[in-house]
Every structure is written in structure tokens, then in C-alpha cells.
């Protein structure tokens, strides 16, 4: 058995996520406290006691998911469960980088807080939307976008076979959704997002993030591998990681190919670490023969532990 860790991104959050883990395990509480001390904000209170509107603000969502994911990751390591290869969906790549010792916990907490602020505050004026296109090949989704008569819309997340998220101006997204249906899509669903994420429209946010990334130390750790969102290849010493992380904000996420790359490198068991089980679904649609666990609460943690220990 070869394990691979995957970490979710924005959109998986919900109020109260991880609360039972926090109540039961001292390691989890210490992780939240450490992050809260670094940022001088109560992340546990934000995650467990805020309302949906507050938690769904990008500046809050990203840090809340990161801290929950890393608290669970630390709990797994303490119980002898580790992986030498990992990936994440957009924001989730930061958790993978911490897991693999490419970036320190402290720096990740700081930079992800900034990333969320920039992605929230530097959305250009306009009405923006994202939508999931289900049951259509990549090329036809791309055609559905390029055939839009007016406005900006592009593929943003290549999630799994038959599911791609598109992003752009809302009217253009709605038109692309109709185009996709005409081309044979099973469904086209508008998503609950507030910005043109993973498109060139967030170039200012990307530039601001690059400035902050220059202030921290990031290095390749040869003992563990991280698969990049950008091209679904593992980071190497030739990569400019800071430049790549800045480009994430304006580039499509290649999650399906990232999963395929992990499988090509021998991974047969995936653990999704963090809120929800969206990535677990993507992985099973990509390859139904692999084993997939998700850990987001005490029950799923203990179940995974009992099977893998």
C-alpha cells in the first residue's frame, strides 16, 4: 500500500468543521492556538462560532481550511500515518507544502491569510461567477467558453473526468452553461463563489501575493514530493516555487492530472484531509480502483486509523 495525502480548497468549508476533533484531541487544540497566536486572531472561534456569511469570506475561508487540514495532518503523523507524496486543490497545495516541509507552519499561516485577503480585496469591479460543467469532455467545455459571444469566461478547475469548473463574468458564464448543455453536458450548476478565481482577472491579487511570497523561505525537501496544481508535475529544484504559487491565483487547477500523476507514482490509497469529501469523489471518478478515505471529524479519523494502523 502506498499512501497519498490530498488537501481540499475553498468551497469545502462549513461552520463547525473540525469542532469534535478540537474538543477531543490536544494536538488539534495546540495547532489552532499556534495559528491564532501567529495571526493574533481566534481561528477556533471563527471556525466554530461564526455564521456562514462570515466564514465564507475568502479571507476567513482560506485560513480556516488550512488550519483544520494541518491539525488533522499532525494528528495522523502522531499516530504513525504519513505519506511521502501529496497534492492539494488550489489553497490545499499550501497544506501539502507544509506537510512535505517545503514551507514552515508559521509562514504558511501568514501567507494564506494574505492570499485570502488579496483574493477578496482585489477582485475587479463587475459581476462574477463560477459554474460546474458535468458530463462533458475537456475540449467541449473549452469550446463552450470560446463560443460565448460577449464577455469573459474560461475553464478554471479541471476537477475530474467529466467535471470542469468555469469562471468569469456572470452573463458570460451563464451563456457558457447553455452552450455546454447544447454540446451534451448532463448538468451545469452555478457555484457559490464571489470572484473570477483562477483567471487572469485576478492579476493584481497574484502580483500582491508574489510580493508577500518573496518575504518567506520556501525550499524543496527531497524526501517528500508535492504535485503542483499548475502542471500536475512534482516540484523539482529547478522550479521557482514562489512564482508558481503566485500564478496559481490566475491559472487553471489541474487536479485530475495531479491525481493521475500520483497514481502513476504508485499511490493506491488516498486520504483527503480537511472539510468535506469533494476530492474523494473526484478521485473515485478518476480511478475507481484506488482506496479513498476522507478525514474531517472524529468518526472518520478513527475509522481511517483502525483500517490503516
pLDDT of residue 305: 95
pLDDT of residue 118: 97
**36 phi/psi in degrees, rounded to 5:** -65, -40
In the structure, what pLDDT confidence band is assigned to residue 192 with cuts at 50, 70 and 90?
Answer: confident
Q: pLDDT tens digits for 131-163?
A: 999 999 999 999 999 999 999 999 999 999 999
Fold (topology level) of 128-195: Alpha-Beta Plaits (3.30.70)
Joined grid coordinates for residue 305:
486509523
In the structure, what pLDDT confidence band is assigned to residue 166 with cuts at 50, 70 and 90?
Answer: very high
**24 phi/psi in degrees, rounded to 5:** -95, -35
Q: pLDDT tens digits for 202-256?
A: 999 999 999 999 999 998 877 899 999 999 999 999 999 999 999 999 999 999 9
Active-site hit among 69, 95, 198, 248: 198
**259 phi/psi in degrees, rounded to 5:** -65, -45
Q: Is 90 a catalytic residue?
A: yes
Active-site hit among 69, 86, 90, 95: 90
For the chain, domain boundaries = 3-122+201-308, 128-195
Q: pLDDT tens digits for 248-299?
A: 999 999 999 999 999 999 999 999 999 999 999 999 999 999 999 999 999 9
- Does residue 47 have a pLDDT over 80? yes
- Does residue 193 have a pLDDT over 80? no
Alpha carbons 88 and 279: distance in angstroms, whole number: 9
Q: With pLDDT > 90 as the criterion, what percentage of the chain qualifies?
A: 96
pLDDT of residue 220: 86
pLDDT of residue 195: 83
pLDDT of residue 255: 97
pLDDT of residue 131: 96
Joined grid coordinates for residue 159:
476537477
Of 3.30.70.360, 2.60.40.10, 3.90.25.10, 3.40.366.10, the CATH number of 3-122+201-308 is 3.40.366.10
Amino acid at each position: 500500500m502506498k499512501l497519498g495525502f490530498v488537501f481540499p480548497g475553498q468551497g469545502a468549508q462549513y461552520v463547525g468543521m473540525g469542532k469534535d476533533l478540537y474538543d477531543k484531541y490536544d494536538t488539534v487544540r495546540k495547532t489552532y492556538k499556534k495559528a491564532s497566536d501567529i495571526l493574533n486572531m481566534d481561528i477556533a472561534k471563527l471556525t466554530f462560532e461564526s455564521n456562514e456569511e462570515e466564514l465564507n469570506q475568502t479571507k476567513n475561508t482560506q485560513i480556516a481550511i488550512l488550519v483544520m487540514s494541518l491539525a488533522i495532518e499532525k494528528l495522523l503523523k502522531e499516530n504513525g500515518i504519513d505519506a511521502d507524496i501529496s497534492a492539494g486543490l488550489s489553497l490545499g497545495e499550501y497544506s501539502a507544502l507544509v506537510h512535505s516541509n517545503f514551507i514552515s507552519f508559521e509562514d504558511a499561516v501568514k501567507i494564506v491569510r494574505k492570499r485570502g485577503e488579496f483574493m477578496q480585496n482585489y477582485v475587479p469591479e463587475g459581476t462574477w461567477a463560477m459554474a460546474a460543467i458535468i458530463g462533458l469532455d475537456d475540449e467541449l467545455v473549452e469550446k463552450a467558453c470560446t463560443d460565448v459571444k460577449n464577455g469573459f469566461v474560461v475553464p478554471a478547475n479541471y476537477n475530474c473526468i467529466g467535471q470542469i469548473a468555469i469562471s468569469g463574468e456572470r452573463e458570460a458564464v451563464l451563456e457558457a452553461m447553455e452552450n455546454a448543455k447544447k454540446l451534451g453536458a448532463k448538468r451545469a450548476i452555478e457555484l457559490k463563489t464571489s470572484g473570477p478565481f483562477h483567471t487572469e482577472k485576478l492579476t493584481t491579487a497574484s502580483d500582491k501575493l508574489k510580493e508577500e511570497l518573496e518575504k518567506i523561505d520556501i525550499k524543496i525537501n527531497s524526501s517528500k514530493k508535492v504535485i503542483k496544481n499548475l502542471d500536475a508535475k512534482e516540484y523539482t529544484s529547478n522550479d521557482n516555487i514562489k512564482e508558481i504559487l503566485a500564478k496559481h491565483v490566475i491559472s487553471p487547477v489541474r487536479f485530475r492530472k495531479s491525481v493521475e500523476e500520483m497514481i502513476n507514482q504508485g499511490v493506491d490509497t488516498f486520504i483527503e484531509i480537511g472539510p468535506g469529501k469533494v476530492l474523494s469523489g473526484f478521485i473515485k471518478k478518476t480511478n475507481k480502483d484506488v482506496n479513498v478515505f476522507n478525514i474531517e471529524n472524529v468518526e472518520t479519523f478513527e475509522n481511517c486509523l483502525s483500517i490503516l494502523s
